[in-house]
Amino acid sequence: MNENSDVNKIVILSSFGMYLDGYQLTVMAFAILLIQNYIALPSLEYGLLIASVIIGAIIGTVMVGYISDIFGRRKIYLSTLIFFIIFDLISVFSFNFIMLFVSRVLLGIILGAEYPVANSYIAEVTPDEKRGFYLALAAVFFSVGSISSAIIAIFTFPLDNLGWRLMLGLSIIPAIIVEFMRFSLPESKMWENKKEKTRFFEMFSRKYYKDVLLAAIIWFLYDIVAYGLSLTLPTILKIGHFVDNVDNALLTTFFLVIGILSGIYVMKVVDKFGRKVIQITGFALMAILFLILPHYYFLTGIIIIVALLELFNAFDGATVGIIPAEVTVTRFRGSSYGFASMMGKVGAVIGVIAMALLIRGKNYFNAYIFLSVVMIIAILLTLLLPETKGTKLE
């Protein structure tokens, strides 16, 4: 097998963790529309269940990122999917809120582990001039996972109680296949050749803290918006009596297709234009669209504006996952990437719960003003970041 084939295989099998994350995060937005018919879910429990995987990921990102810096990327890879299968099976057979919530949090710990390991691994094995392309591909895999969940939802909504269990559990099949394929992956040579020991808090030393913290805070702000919108959108459409469940999933599929196409475009240009220009453009256009959305709060208006939001969301969805891998060094790349990803997940929990409370309370205008302000703050912080296009990692 030639070097390019090796790189492609590593990137694809590593990015599969992003696929599972996209699937499991998005699928709950549909499954909960059926779950609430069988399990009582007041507003807080409703928001917590949507955010359950994200809550678990907050733990998994930092903890396992640090472990991968010590023991290597490959060893972690060979264990995460085994636990994913176990915890997903438990969630499928859950019969009350506590059992479902706990199993989803545990599932989130495993999916959170995939973030730092996958992206550190990809950054370390790909050439500098194409690193953005390959890291952006991981973001596209996330979108493919999301659209897979929407498609599954279309066919399983009519099955009611069985339907939501199938939505949660069908991703086990590809997880088993990929687990076996990962045994053929080599260890990262950059990790094998690192000369200094991993010291977790070194990322907060004078030399590194500014860029590490900026990348993490920007990811935090981005995820407030990205998850706050995407995971509550099916609820928005249902509460507003705009569409039924199946049409809800069809519309979400349409939005996600736009996101995938936009993500593919970003893959092609991110190593040409750089990370900062793309990120600022995405944040700015999303901020404007959120200010417009409350004034066009009918089905056609929502479809057009949310489609545009998905278009520009893909810009930032790629770059916030690229920059943390490039502003750090191999000996603590997993730890610092895990820290940035953890901050993102904290933002996602805040976004989902805040939006769930605002939307269910019919405070639509305040909800979108909130998201717009968050985007403006993210723009200002992005201006302080270095441009990492084409930089040599070590």
The per-residue DSSP string of 110-152 comes to HHHHHHHHHHHHHHHHS-GGGHHHHHHHHHHHHHHHHHHHHHH
**Torsions phi, psi of 377, nearest 5?**
-60, -40
Indicate the SS3 state at residue 257.
helix
pLDDT at 354: 84
Q: Would you say 135 and 122 are in contact if contact means Cβ atoms under 8 Å apart?
A: yes
CA distance 20 to 171: 7
Closest by CA to 323, choosing from 378, 252, 258, 244, is 378
pLDDT at 5: 67
CA distance 265 to 275: 13
- Residues in the chain predicted with pLDDT less than 50, given as ranges, are 1
Q: Would you say 87 and 172 are in contact if contact means Cβ atoms under 8 Å apart?
A: no
Residue with the two structure tokens 């490959």: 74
CA distance 263 to 267: 6
Fold observed for domain 3-180+198-382 = Growth Hormone; Chain: A; (1.20.1250)
Give Cα 253 to chain centroid, integer Å: 17
CA distance 331 to 299: 50
Contacts 24+ apart (CB under 8 A), 191-195: 191/69, 191/72, 191/73, 191/124, 191/330, 192/72, 194/330, 194/331
Closest by CA to 125, choosing from 67, 74, 87, is 74
Give Cα 356 to chain centroid, integer Å: 19
- Between the two ends of the chain, the Cα-to-Cα distance in Å is 27
pLDDT at 210: 94
Structure tokens at 24: 């499991």
Residue with the two structure tokens 């599929």: 253
pLDDT at 1: 41
Distance (Å) of CA 378 to CA 61, 229, 308, 346: 22, 16, 19, 15
Distance (Å) of CA 76 to CA 182, 193, 330: 11, 18, 16
Structure tokens at 130: 């194409």
Distance (Å) of CA 214 to CA 61, 219, 305, 341, 344: 17, 9, 29, 12, 12
Residue with the two structure tokens 């996972």: 145
**Torsions phi, psi of 113, nearest 5?**
-65, -30
What does pTM read for this prediction? 0.84
Q: Would you say 77 and 128 are in contact if contact means Cβ atoms under 8 Å apart?
A: no
Distance (Å) of CA 34 to CA 10, 40, 71, 79, 228: 37, 11, 42, 32, 20
Q: Other CB atoms closer than 10 Å to residue 193's CB: what's the count?
A: 10
CA distance 340 to 212: 7
- Residue 258, C-beta contacts closer than 8 angstroms, at least 6 positions apart: 307, 310, 311
